[in-house]
Structure 1
Amino acid sequence: MSVPELPDLSGQSVLVTGASGTVGRGVAWRFALAGAAVIVHYHKGAERAEELVERVRGHGGKAVALGADVRDEDECHRLIRRSAEWAGRLTALVNNAGVQPVQPLDGMTAAEWRQVVDTNLLSVFACTQAAVEVMRSTDGGSITHIASIEGSHPARQHAHYCSSKAAVIMHARSAAIEYAPLGIRVNVVSPGLIDKPGLEEEWPDGVRRWESAAPLRRRGRPQDIGDACVFLASPMAEWVTGHNLVVDGGVSSAPTW
């Protein structure tokens, strides 16, 4: 399988939140291959984050791992400041950190609801706000939120997740309007089902249903999401803001009847 040529992001610096997870690692790696300096954020996955940093450095790139609990507003602001200090400036932010528990609405507590919403939505709000303060003093920048096709197509036992991702999409549209005069573009990437080790064993029926419904007949790869994020952060997307780029192999286009 050929790998598409990436835009040249040499001289750019990007913070990817949740970069110790499957999708975040793929996003950070593609930015590194495009030449950007990469800040690999983690919360509990320090070892995986450091492994990615060493991989980037081994390929001649520049990377650092920084830890923070992005459910905390103050920690979000510290993370952005530390990222900008390390890189000299921050030209791109990918708000990828998130959780996706499976839980029915019946019996769900407010605390369980908040855990998902704070991780998936409050982090986006706080990191974006902090990044704008850094970017507005330079030449602007690009902010990309990772949402989900579940932000517009609900799934059973995912009400808290679907609601948070729908809000993430609307936050980007609102932020795109307000931050455009500062030269800051805000977009969304909404992935479909992204492959990970053990997925087929954990959810065999779901994987089969997905692959039969998706026009492109495969699961997504982390690099598919990474390539979309690199594009949105590149000069190729300089007239793109407030957009929700769906990367799902076409499954959202499949008939539901």
Structure 2
Amino acid sequence: MRLLEGQVALVTGAGGGIGRGIALRFAEQGAAAVAVHCRTAASAAREVAARIEDFGARAVVLEADLRDEDACHRLVREAADWGGGLTALVNNAGVQPTRPLPGMTAVQWRTVVDTNLTGVFACTQAAAEVMGPGGSVTHIASIEASHPAPGHAHYSASKAAIVMHARSAAGEYGPHGIRVNTVSPGLIDRDGLAEAWPEGVERWVRKAPLGRLGRPEDVADACVFLASPLASWVTGHDLVVDGGVSARPTW
């Protein structure tokens, strides 16, 4: 039996990168239906949906701006109505602009926080209303939640808050049989990354104990585990997927 046999999942930000990897891995692992969320990348999301159907699962593309609380609740309701219920939510959607903290405006701050954090809050709240016991929610956080990088103050703060939100939600939704966890990736490879940031990629590979960048599938496998019966007694946990970089001394 595949690990997610019969589940109905919603993956936000599933048009590309990590979200695409998660959505496809859920279908590979037996999910009966996967709702693919996007904000603007509808064409890419439709390609992901087609791949999901190749695995024999049902798929639908749902569009929503997760900075809007009502849109988050509508998205989750649409996914649950379409799927005949909802057993798993992966809050993957997020933005990662680079901007120095001095001179950052409140509007620039809110753009990141509202997408990365407020959207997670609203989608989780909505999902808990339609999930039964055994439901799971997984937030995609980041190792930057505890290891900030220059120019990423808004991003790092939002990801740290996501980790704490999951712990708080685990406590409050646990009595309802709903588990909430986070996955914190390190540097995940994508098309053009090595060309755009060669020195950073080289530095990461040199310092990572496992000697490579992460792949979307690495994050997806962690999400599959947390949504599966294998993790039925795991909640409020942050699963770091970074090739061991966080284990290195910082002095």
Deviations 1:182-211 (A, max 9, x none): 000000000000000000011100000100
Letter in 2 for 1:119: T
Find the residue that maps to 1:201 and give its secondary structure: helix
1:192 and 2:186 are equivalent in the alignment: yes
Deviations 1:69-127 (A, max 9, x none): 01100000000000000100000000000000010011110000000000000000000
Which residue pairs with 1:154 in the alignment? 148
The structure 1 segments of at least 4 consecutive aligned residues displaced by more than 4 Å after TM superposition are none
The Cα RMSD (Å) is 0.9
Which residue pairs with 1:3 in the alignment? none
Aligned length: 250
Q: Distance in 1 between matches of 2:11 and 2:214?
A: 19
Letter in 1 for 2:50: E
Query: Does the 8 Å contact 1:7/1:234 carry over to 2?
Result: no
Match of 1:122 among 118, 123, 126: 118
Aligned runs of 1:52-201 on 2, under 5 Å?
52-135=48-131, 138-201=132-195
Q: Distance in 2 between matches of 1:139 and 1:186?
A: 12
Percent pairwise identity? 67
Which residue pairs with 2:197 in the alignment? 203
Q: Distance in 2 between matches of 1:217 and 1:157?
A: 26
Q: Distance in 2 between matches of 1:173 and 1:56?
A: 31
Query: Does the 8 Å contact 2:3/2:229 carry over to 1?
Result: no
Deviates further, 8-17 or 112-121:
8-17
Structure 1 residue 61: Cα displacement:
1.9
Q: Distance in 1 between matches of 2:134 and 2:54?
A: 30
Which residue pairs with 1:8 in the alignment? 3
Which residue pairs with 1:20 in the alignment? 15
Structure 1 residue 139: Cα displacement:
2.9
Structure 1 residue 255: Cα displacement:
1.9
Q: TM-score, normalised by structure 1?
A: 0.96
Letter in 1 for 2:11: V
Structure 2 residue runs of 5 or longer lacking an equivalent are none
Letter in 2 for 1:173: R
Structure 1 residue 7: Cα displacement:
4.1
Query: Does the 8 Å contact 1:173/1:187 carry over to 2?
Result: yes
Q: Distance in 2 between matches of 1:59 and 1:180?
A: 32
Q: Distance in 2 between matches of 1:234 and 1:11?
A: 11
Q: Distance in 1 between matches of 2:28 and 2:142?
A: 24
Query: Does the 8 Å contact 2:3/2:224 carry over to 1?
Result: no
Q: Distance in 2 between matches of 1:186 and 1:230?
A: 13
Q: TM-score, normalised by structure 2?
A: 0.98
